[in-house]
Amino acid sequence: MARSSKVAMSFDDAEGLYPFLAKVKSKIQRKDKEDYKYFNFPRAYLLNGLLDVFDNGGDKEVLITVEKEIKKIIDASGNLHFKFDKIDQSLFGVILSRLYLSDEKESYSKALSHIEHEVKKFINDEQDLILYRKGIDVCFVDTLGMVCPFLYTYGSSFQKEDLIRLANEQLYFYIKNGTDKSGLLPFHAVDLKNKIHLGPTNWGRGIGWFMIGLAFSLKYTTASNNPHYKLFRSTFEELDIKLQELKIKNLHWSQFLGHTNDTSIDTSITLMLYYARTVSGKEVKIKEVEKSLQDSINKEGYVLNSSGDTIYINKYATKKGKSELTQGLLLSLIANTN
């Protein structure tokens, strides 16, 4: 899957506005219409899972594969092979940070500096908030699970306290302004101009992005360099308890939590929530993960039943299938659980 130029995750759900606009934009700019799918968060999470496997005793061939694939992301001088126009792409910075720690190539360092520079272009200067898309004054919960892992990983690796502070502020804002009355369940987005909440609070993948952002804060910060650490810890712990109660038959999570008409598994959400627990330092038993996925892995080893790319607020994917996201998350869990 990592070596393939084709993208397994569905980005072309029926009547999807984002895929349609992306295709139109690609044609106008004479770009490969597949670029926006390929250079996106699913591939980043797949490469991250492979690195986890290697770091936990995996074969050297796994690392070689990641190093070969990263050459499709950056050139020998550290220039990106794609236009950085989505905050999702910051996740490639996590891979580059990890590779740099084992092999201090100048190309990795330059690429990381470039990603940092591009990420800062998404900042709403008035509130120091990172927007999901430039020019749209709306904060999305998706951003937390995409940019915070980069800011914390890169910030820690290169002693960039300003990036750690920036990540802390994204999470603090969302807890205070983008959650329900309990301060736990996140809305899909917050309209900064009109100061209103957008979308549901039970969208599973949104909760997954929220938990991953919090988990990375717990992994990379302490009370000494994060004034909000206690709040982040309590939010994560309390929401984790609530999520265990919302499991379907104590096995898995569905695309929308608490939805009585849909008890089917969404593997992307299920694996995101398990992954967030391992990143935060909480124990996860691999047998528990196996039980959750008992009807969702085919004979070839692919994880099925993963919902496709989200179309927009209040308009979500209807297709399920294979995904680089879920495959990568499962690799991470296999590598980091007992």
DSSP characters over 199-215: S-S-BHHHHHHHHHHHH
Model pLDDT, residue 26: 56
Long-range CB pairs of 220-225 (<8 Å, 24+ gap) are 220/152, 220/153, 220/155, 220/156, 220/164, 221/152, 221/164, 221/168, 225/161, 225/164
Residue 67, by phi and psi: left (phi above 0), alpha (psi -120 to 50) or beta?
alpha
The per-residue DSSP string of 234-294 comes to: HHHHHHHHHHHHT-BTTTB--SBTT-TT-----HHHHHHHHHHHHHHT----HHHHHHHTT
Model pLDDT, residue 20: 58
Distance CA 328, CA 338 (A): 17
Distance CA 176, CA 178 (A): 6
Instruction: Give me the residue label for tokens 């603090």.
Output: 172
Distance CA 227, CA 243 (A): 26
Provide the residue type at 319 as one letter: K
Q: Which residues of the chain have pLDDT under 70?
A: 14-34
Provide the residue type at 277 as one letter: R
Model pLDDT, residue 31: 53
Distance CA 16, CA 13 (A): 5
Whether 318 and 14 have beta carbons less than 8 Å apart is answered as yes
User: Pick from 295, 252, 291: which is nearest to 272 by CA?
Assistant: 252
Model pLDDT, residue 27: 59
Encode pLDDT of 154-177 as tens digits.
999 999 999 999 999 999 999 999
Note the pTM of the prediction, 2 decimals.
Answer: 0.94
Encode pLDDT of 254-275 as tens digits.
999 987 788 899 999 999 999 9
Model pLDDT, residue 12: 73
Per domain, the residue ranges of the chain are: 17-336
Instruction: Give me the residue label for tokens 């670029």.
Output: 35
> Considering the domain 17-336, what is its CATH architecture?
Alpha/alpha barrel (1.50)
